[in-house]
Structure 1
Amino acid sequence: MGKAKIAIKRIDDSANRQVTFSKRRTGLLKKARELAILCDAQVGVIVFSSTGKLYEYGSSSLKSIIDRYNKHKDEEQHPLMNPASEAKFWRREATVLRQQLQHLQELHRQFTGEQLSGLGINELKSLENQLEMSLKKVQIKKEQILADEIKELQHKGHQIRQENVQLYKTMEVISKENAELQTKISEARVVNDEYGNPNNPTCTIDLQLSQSQSQCSESPTKAMELGLQLL
């Protein structure tokens, strides 16, 4: 009895899906290796799992295989031509580009309200709808730019208010320090006026008292010296 065929559709059960992926990936890489060896072919296989994990195989350098593939695709898109065929090809391309340019110029003139005489009601209605859609996009973009500018200005205004508050606090501290300095200067000036003035009577009395005390201290010394001479 043969194996039952498996329906080729996404496996809903994650565990079965992972087991099937592992088995079939191994079989795919094995077949690619056998193809390269048996047929002397350049084979490259790249597989990404559902979780984004990379599995790869290259019969030679996988980078060289990919470069060869890209070169082959470029040659298919731009095959080599003889000079006559190449000139014909570029004339055809130039004709197509001129037609596209002419069409775009006509559309531009119609968008600016020119050359509308040849258009029917349906074409005019279509043009009107396109202009309304374009105008709506322009308005949305303008409102977005204005909203961003207002938000930026509000942010700058908040920063300026914070800086003003900080400057005001700094000015208060400086004013307080200046007031304290002025007070100290005034007190020092008063002290200098009291003790530095030679006409101050308090200072004169202190000087007289100092001289009297010095004279009294000298008298006993002189009397003792006279007594010693008499002896």
Structure 2
Amino acid sequence: MRRGKTVMKRIENAASRLVSFSKRRNGLLKKAFELSVLCDVEVAVIIFSQKGRLYEFSNSDMQKTIERYHKHTKETLSHKPEMEQRMQHLRIETADIFKKIEFLEVSKRKLLGQGLGSCSIEELQEIDSQLEQSLKNIRARKAQLFKEQMQQLKAKERMLLEENVKLFEKCGHWKSWQQPITQQRKAISNCIQNNKCLEVVTELSIGLPQNN
């Protein structure tokens, strides 16, 4: 049968309290021993009974373990002011970052035309100047992209003209490429329309083949 959950409070009955102390003390010391063996750690347990009797367990020298504990606590306390100062600095930095984020969000809404009811004339003029500068930057970037695209198209046109020169040389019309560009383009168009560059003769008939 499953035992009920023990209520964590002082046992009022003295005899029951003594029995519980004895059982739990032995269990605690056993667990400390198992922990030291299984995990290869340094363990020290000190217990004083209600009457002042000492019970202890240590898998190494108890005095050395206590000295090690005091040394560790002193080092922790010596670093505590530095840690608190660092935490305070981080809290201030976090608060500043939140303020900057809030300011940027407000500025963004104003640039989008939202929340302008509380703005003064000077603030509206500043927003207007920022928008004008943004438009100038956008238009300048747009013009630059158009210019780059035009250069790419011109380079592609030159490449295509060079390829057409090679094709015309193969077709025997290379002399026409000594003319100006406009006449060259006209010559290409006429050549394509008149099918002078390449002639292919094909015959297609439907029905049974005829005997010659």
Q: Give the TM-score band, short-chain normalised.
A: 0.3 to 0.5
Larger radius of gyration: 1
TM-score (normalised: structure 2) = 0.42
Q: Using structure 1 for the length normalisation, give the TM-score.
A: 0.39
**Relative CO higher for 1 or 2, CA cutoff 8 Å, sep ≥ 6?**
2
